[in-house]
Structure 1
Amino acid sequence: MPTHATAAPCVHVVVPVKSLADAKSRLSAAVDESLRRELVLAMLEDTLRALLESSAVSAVTVVTPDAAAAAAAIRCGACSVDERQALARAGAAGDGLAVGGHPSEGGPHAALNAALTGAAYRVRDAVAPDHLAFVQADLPSLRPGEFTAAAAAAIAYPGLPVPGRPGDGDAHGHGRAYIADRSGDGTTAVFVCGAATRLRLGFGGGSARRHEAQGAIALRGSWPGLRADVDTVADLRHVRRLGTGASTGTLLRRIGVPGAKTR
């Protein structure tokens, strides 16, 4: 598990990856299924490498039901937890969906948020990190310095918990911060600052508004790679212009997105 011994703060990142068979369906009209699978893995690899190069990151855990995604995570130096095990841990805590359960009031993305929550519980059980972050897997233009700066901004925000002091300020949302995607509607990252801060996640459609309603703080920094997730062909063109990691850049050239460059 890669670590940065002198890094401060210490953030353990959890990254969700759905089954490759179901991934990036909005690209289906432009990119065939086999290439979409490769694209998901390429973007995952570039995202993980950028995170693991950030001086704020102690380790990364990928939660996925997909064996190929788990293998890619391990190759990049991340850890992997099976989605079913994560859901079971969330269910055991009475938080989210148990294995075999059904979406509850959390909406159609309840299973995603339950899997992330369960994976985070497992991380806290095992290593008790100072801080957690939940980051989307499709950020091929992410730079390590962007994540480092965003993590520092989240942790330094006035009112956030101080390690070693009682209370997490959760009644006012302090301890949680989020980064909206470039559209302002979705969320690319959530920070849960402080080892005792309650986990509360609202990923899915319209998630930026949901995280704000839950009391999380919106981080306003200019981090284009951290806000550039990929769901559409227009998004592919956008990350091409920003520059991507090597894996995604190579695949974009194969797909035929013109002018693809690596960062």
Structure 2
Amino acid sequence: MRPERREGARVRWTLVVPVKSLTLAKSRLGAAGPGHPPRPALALAFALDTVEAALACPAVRGVAVVTDDPLAGAGAAALGARVLPEPPGGGGLNAALAHGARSVREQLPDGAVATLNADLPALRPMELERVLGRAAEFPRAFLADAAGIGTTLLAAAPGMELAPAFEGRSRARHLASGAREILLDGVDSVRRDVDTEADLRAVLALGTGPRTAAVAGPLRSASRPART
């Protein structure tokens, strides 16, 4: 039996954040050149700014980072996140997310679990709280990315399987799986992930966390100050 809709319920979430090897991450940002920050440094900055902002959200009880990258793992642990190794045998992003969710539920069988992309460096804790508050109204729910094609957050209420279907056109797959789409205005920082140079400039315009602002300094000439 599915849990009842919990309109307005106060739920605290454990977030699963996947971080791939930094040397392989963000390939669509292109090779580093004069005045352009290296991709691994950007990927690490994105991930740590995301984790720090997520941990500051009142609706979040904890963050589990799934990674085999030593730098990302050490940085996340220093912020207070739990670090989990990637599942044996690999399996890609969805396998890592399912593994993370199972590990969380082993400790918190009745806990609410959500995934969050690791490339949300403009993330604002209060906007994330609004998204998670809406997610608590449904058994499974997701937030589409700024392009309306992918997904930046997928949430599963207590007792519900996460069933992640990320990569590519994941918005359509999550809709087809029965997850409810979260429709909110004013949560741009939770939608704006970074895959391309244009995405990076967009998050810099929103105002990023301090690590991304420092690493991406050469690209910030037309951007707002870093997020505080």
Q: TM-score, normalised by structure 1?
A: 0.78
Give the distance between the partners of 2:216 and 2:222, measured in 1 at CA.
9
* Residue matched to 2:5: none
Give the distance between the partners of 2:209 and 2:175, measured in 1 at CA.
31
**Corresponding position: 1:182 with 2:146:** yes
Q: Describe the SS at the equivalent of 1:133.
A: strand
**Corresponding position: 1:11 with 2:27:** no
Percent of aligned positions that are identical: 41
**Corresponding position: 1:112 with 2:76:** no
Structure 2 CA distance for partners of 1:129 and 1:148, relative to 1, 3 Å: farther
Q: 1:8-47, aligned counterparts within 5 Å?
A: 8-29=10-31, 35-47=38-50
Give the distance between the partners of 2:174 and 2:103, measured in 1 at CA.
23
Give CA-to-partner distance per residue, 1:178-215, whole Å, 9 cap, x none.
00000000100001112x11221101001111111111
Give the distance between the partners of 1:155 and 1:31, measured in 2 at CA.
44
Q: Please state how far the C-alpha of 1:31 moved relative to its aligned partner.
A: 5.4
Give the distance between the partners of 1:28 and 1:118, measured in 2 at CA.
30
Give the distance between the partners of 1:29 and 1:122, measured in 2 at CA.
35
Q: 1:215-254, aligned counterparts within 5 Å?
A: 215-222=178-185, 223-253=187-217
Runs of 4 or more above 3 Å deviation: 29-34
Give the distance between the partners of 1:16 and 1:57, measured in 2 at CA.
16
Give the distance between the partners of 2:74 and 2:222, measured in 1 at CA.
30
Give the distance between the partners of 1:238 and 1:29, measured in 2 at CA.
19
* Residue matched to 1:96: none
Give the distance between the partners of 1:18 and 1:185, measured in 2 at CA.
21
Give CA-to-partner distance per residue, 1:103-162, whole Å, 9 cap, x none.
xxxxxxx52111110111111112335210100000011100011111110112xxx3xx
* Residue matched to 1:105: none
Query: Do the aligned partners of 1:236 and 1:257 also contact (CA within 8 Å) in 2?
Result: no
How many aligned positions are there? 216
Q: Describe the SS at the equivalent of 2:115.
A: strand
**Corresponding position: 1:131 with 2:112:** yes
* Residue matched to 1:213: 176
Query: Do the aligned partners of 2:59 and 2:132 also contact (CA within 8 Å) in 1?
Result: yes
Query: Do the aligned partners of 1:147 and 1:226 also contact (CA within 8 Å) in 2?
Result: yes
Give the distance between the partners of 2:146 and 2:189, measured in 1 at CA.
9
**AA in 2 matched with 1:19:** S
* Residue matched to 2:68: 65
Give the distance between the partners of 2:55 and 2:115, measured in 1 at CA.
14
1:78 to 71, 77, 81: 81
* Residue matched to 1:4: none
**Corresponding position: 1:202 with 2:165:** yes
**AA in 2 matched with 1:127:** L
* Residue matched to 2:135: 154
Query: Do the aligned partners of 2:32 and 2:39 also contact (CA within 8 Å) in 1?
Result: no
Q: Describe the SS at the equivalent of 2:38.
A: helix
Give the distance between the partners of 1:73 and 1:192, measured in 2 at CA.
23
* Residue matched to 2:6: none
Q: Larger % of helix: which? A: 1
What are structure 1's unaligned runs of at least 5 residues? Answer: 1-6, 89-98, 101-109, 161-174
Query: Do the aligned partners of 2:120 and 2:194 also contact (CA within 8 Å) in 1?
Result: yes
What are structure 2's unaligned runs of at least 5 residues? Answer: 1-8
Q: Please state how far the C-alpha of 1:71 moved relative to its aligned partner.
A: 0.7
Q: Please state how far the C-alpha of 1:29 moved relative to its aligned partner.
A: 4.1
